[in-house]
Amino acid sequence: MTLRLKKLQSFKGRKGPLLLIIMDGIGLGVQDGSNAVYLAKTPALDRLFSSRLFCALRAHGTAVGLPSDDDMGNSEVGHNALGAGRVFDQGARLVNRAIESGRIFKTSLWEDIVRRVKQGGALHFIGLFSDGNVHSNIGQLYKIIDKCVELGLERVCVHALLDGRDVGERSALDYIVPAEEKFRNINKERGFKYCIASGGGRMNVTMDRYNADWNIVKRGWDAHVLGKARDFSSAEEAVRTFYDEDPKMTDQYMGAFVVVDTNGRPVGPVMDGDAAVCFNFRGDRAIEISRAFTEKDFKEFDRGPLPDVLYAGMMQYDGDTNMPPDFLVQPPVIDRTISEYLCTEKVRSFAISETQKFGHVTYFWNGNRSGYIDPALETYVEIPSDRIEFDQAPRMKAIEIKDKTIEMLRQREYRFGRLNFANGDMVGHTGKMDAAIIAVETVDQCIARLLDVITELEGIAVVSADHGNSDVMFTVDKKGNKKVKTAHTLNPVPFAIYDPQYKGEYQMATIERPGLSNIAGTLLNLLGYENVEDYDPSLISGLT
């Protein structure tokens, strides 16, 4: 299919560049003491949010392809929607349908897994152990485990990565205790060996992303495969011990642990003849552990002897690198992203962020596609993230991103640029209010400087976000108890156009329940092109 854009007759765009600024994790929440975005001093954002060219956008649930409007958005599905211009069914929904229809159990891969386990192996499940529905859902895991029981698979081991980020920061026991009880009942009734075999906090064990810190993956490998970590008699004992030893310990940063039997031997390391499934459906934090299991020429750390394991992902986490080679559910096929159209029109563009969100403005923006669409027309810039808990350095790399963006804008070689400031999300996830306020204020200061440069270059800036986070830092229950909130929010996100040359050529459109997917068509309009016919409507009207 040939991709072509049609030029608007009434509007050619501005002389200068169009810059999209994505404020990761900065939503529009209730204006009270729980909202770091509201408490922060943000003169630049205040000005943008009070302009004529402003609206609020949905960034969660069905607006970004998730199963229901009770599901919080996330950076991956958000950037998919931003880059694709329409909504695709996303991981959680795809997996739900595959399980409910039984399709997941009718594939040759599942048959191979079952065959291997019935020949004496164990089936291992590795993934985020919560119902946050961002990376995984424990409900999906339970349905697959129930199928294992039905099929008579005798040995199942779960390697539980504790959340504390998309759910409550110290909620691990809400998942660990009933799981271990479920497994005890299965074992008693059927004579099977089902257990939680190892685990640890997601930000400390296994779930690194973007090659930020391979030591995180190594700690997971050592625990899950080699059976080397701190020993406990159960996962419940591990969590309670970590809590007792450090009252400030939160689940996401918990250390690695291994469950051992009465003789001190690990109850479920991954071994020759076993099968292993990563039950995360989201890709970014599942790619590296998948590489460790499947790459023959693996050099990131010393794995020891690689066991003969049939490894599969819940989904394929990176189609371009075929990672992992085996997977249970087909990912969404996202075609005809805005970048593909712009490359066809020979529009030069750049994308920039720090490591923590670099894949979002590239891989996810491009429809889960690695690498460049056209390296002759695109420039991608990654600023290495700090390897530190983000509340300790809440400014993160925003200033470096701002400075590099200004440098690239002033080259006058790029007509379109996009960037992501990670602060509102990554610092919001720590649950530390003071740090989140600094994070938001830093983003505001950087945006103010970027708007000055856009004015100087006679361009346009679009300021928005992919989902909320720092807009709710804690909740208060009916008894008045404050509970730290580290997860994303269900709040809408801001959308503002900064156009110093604006003379009323267009106005905000009237759209029922606008969302992130409406932004792509808006960007095309602001560049002087008609919207693509099957993209969601532009947020502006009046252009022909």
| Buried b / exposed e along 201-210 (16+ C-beta atoms within 10 A) | bbbbbbbbbb
Q: Whose CA is closest to 282, among 427, 113, 137?
A: 137
DSSP sequence for 198-255: EEEETTTSS---TTS-HHHHHHHHHHHTS--SEEESSHHHHHHHHHHH-TT--GGGPP
Catalytic positions: 75
Beta strands in 375-468 (DSSP E): 378-383, 416-421, 460-464
DSSP sequence for 23-53: ETB-----SSTT-HHHHS--HHHHHHHTSSS
Q: In Å, how far are 121, 382, 402 from 409, measured between CA atoms?
A: 57, 16, 10
300/320 Cα distance (integer angstroms): 20
**CB atoms < 10 A from the CB of 41, how many?**
11
238/80 Cα distance (integer angstroms): 37
372/343 Cα distance (integer angstroms): 10
**CB atoms < 10 A from the CB of 11, how many?**
18
Q: Where are the alpha helices (DSSP H) in 411-432?
A: 423-426
48/72 Cα distance (integer angstroms): 25
Handedness of CA 529, 530, 531, 537 (dihedral sign): positive
